[in-house]
Amino acid sequence: MRRIAVIPARGGSKRLPSKNIVDFLGRPIIAYSIEAARECNLFNRVVVSTDDEYIARVSEQFGAETDRRPGELATDDAHLLDVCLDLFDREAEQGRVYDQFCMVHATSPLRQAGDIKAVVELLEKGRCLFACALSEFNHHAHQALKLVENGFIEPMWPELVNRHSHLMPHLVGGNGSTYAAFIDAFREQRTFFGTPMRGHLMDRMRSIDIDVEEDLEVMKLFKEYLDAKE
Residues 195-204: tens digit of each pLDDT: 999 999 999 8
Question: Which backbone phi and psi does 23 adopt, to 5 degrees?
Answer: -70, 130
- Position 39 scores a pLDDT of 98
Helices 29-39 & 53-61, crossing angle to 10 degrees?
A: 50
Residue 40 has a CB neighbour count (10 Å cut-off) of 22
- Provide the sign of the torsion angle of the four alpha carbons 76, 82, 88, 90, taken in this order: negative
Does residue 130 lie in a domain region? yes
Does residue 151 lie in a domain region? no
Does residue 178 lie in a domain region? yes
The CATH code of the domain that includes 101 is 3.90.550.10
Does residue 166 lie in a domain region? no
Does residue 158 lie in a domain region? no
Residue range(s) defining the domain that contains residue 8:
3-137+172-229
- Position 14 scores a pLDDT of 74
Residue 22 per-residue DSSP state: -
Does residue 35 lie in a domain region? yes
Q: What domain count does the chain have?
A: 1
Confidence class for position 138, pLDDT limits 50, 70, 90: confident
